[in-house]
Amino acid sequence: MKTRTKVLIIIFFTLAFCILMINGKVGEKAAEFITENVLKKDDETNVSSAGQALQEEYTMQEILIDDENGKIYGQAYVPVDEKKDTFPLVILSHGLNNNFNAVSFYAYELAKHGFAVYIFDFRGGSQNSLSEGDMLSMSVMTEVTDLKLVIEQAKTWDFVDTTQIIIGGEDQGGLVSAIVASDMPEDITGLIMLYPYLSVADELHNQLMYHELIPDTFQIRGGITLGLKYAKDVWDYDIYEHITKYTGPVLILHGDSDQVVDILYSEVASEKFSKSEFYIIEGGEHSFTGRYFNIACDYMVKFVEKHTDT
């Protein structure tokens, strides 16, 4: 009966909300009323109890990083544990023309499992970036520089176990993380790559044809405008040769319905890395949502748990 009563209450307020919308009288007050009196009415309600639990399991703090190239905006998610002062750190990087929100839900899940997580915006990473920088000056290699700076700064944070740092990312962030891992193997405990943009050089070659004919600006992926530096920095760069110099543990996740980056690129990478785990997310596209996100999170949590001491 109690469950049935709550369902009827929710239906009642939902109908009331719809009527108010039709009459053009819905505002923040009405939305807040429904949220406070329905969604947060009972601690057993999934929405409220889950939200409350999350707040108790970790804290979020904004951490800005700055050098001569400009400001980097980021957020750190730190577990709440009275028995520990430091935690393994996972640094997650977003993909091309995206921002930290693209990996924020992975951060929440990892923090719930006892890992500190830092997510940030690359300088010039997108038009919606909270970091400084211009997209026309951004490239894979400028993002490599950004991530290296983040890692060096992270070593100074009092909540970080500096002997346990895992880096990873989605799309271009996965490629950038792989390059950094190969350049800084002593600092990196593990590498996570979600549908990594390993096809970037081939795509540029196919589209622009000749190095000498690269224009000052061009578009890829149906409308992302980039600058000359973006193409030049990876034109002659042998991605597989470089990233597979990293000999630590690697996790690669890629959906078999990805229409942006062919899964074959990840399959090749998995064969070339000396210690890789490669999982195909059946039905997954070039972003994991819904159950595909849950599957990816499960793989990620298990990987981090396996390669850290928590």
pLDDT at 104: 97
Q: Are residues 177 and 264 in the same domain?
A: yes
Q: Are residues 34 and 118 in the same domain?
A: no
- Mean pLDDT, 10 residues at a time, the chain of 310 residues: 46 45 39 34 33 63 96 97 94 98 97 97 96 97 98 98 98 98 98 98 93 92 95 97 98 98 98 98 97 98 94
What CATH number has the domain bearing residue 173?
A: 3.40.50.1820
pLDDT at 298: 98
In a domain, 48, yes or no: no
Q: Are residues 91 and 159 in the same domain?
A: yes
Q: Are residues 60 and 111 in the same domain?
A: yes
Q: Are residues 237 and 184 in the same domain?
A: yes
pLDDT at 67: 96
Print the domain residue range for 13: 2-42
Interior angle at CA 91, CA 87 and CA 93, nearest 5: 165
Q: Are residues 20 and 57 in the same domain?
A: no
pLDDT at 56: 57
pLDDT at 222: 87
Q: Are residues 257 and 145 in the same domain?
A: yes
Q: Are residues 132 and 26 in the same domain?
A: no
The domain tally of the chain equals 2
Q: Are residues 23 and 149 in the same domain?
A: no
In a domain, 249, yes or no: yes
Q: Are residues 31 and 161 in the same domain?
A: no
Q: Are residues 155 and 12 in the same domain?
A: no
Q: Are residues 272 and 173 in the same domain?
A: yes
Picking from 191, 150, 198, the residue whose alpha carbon sits closest to that of residue 167 is 191
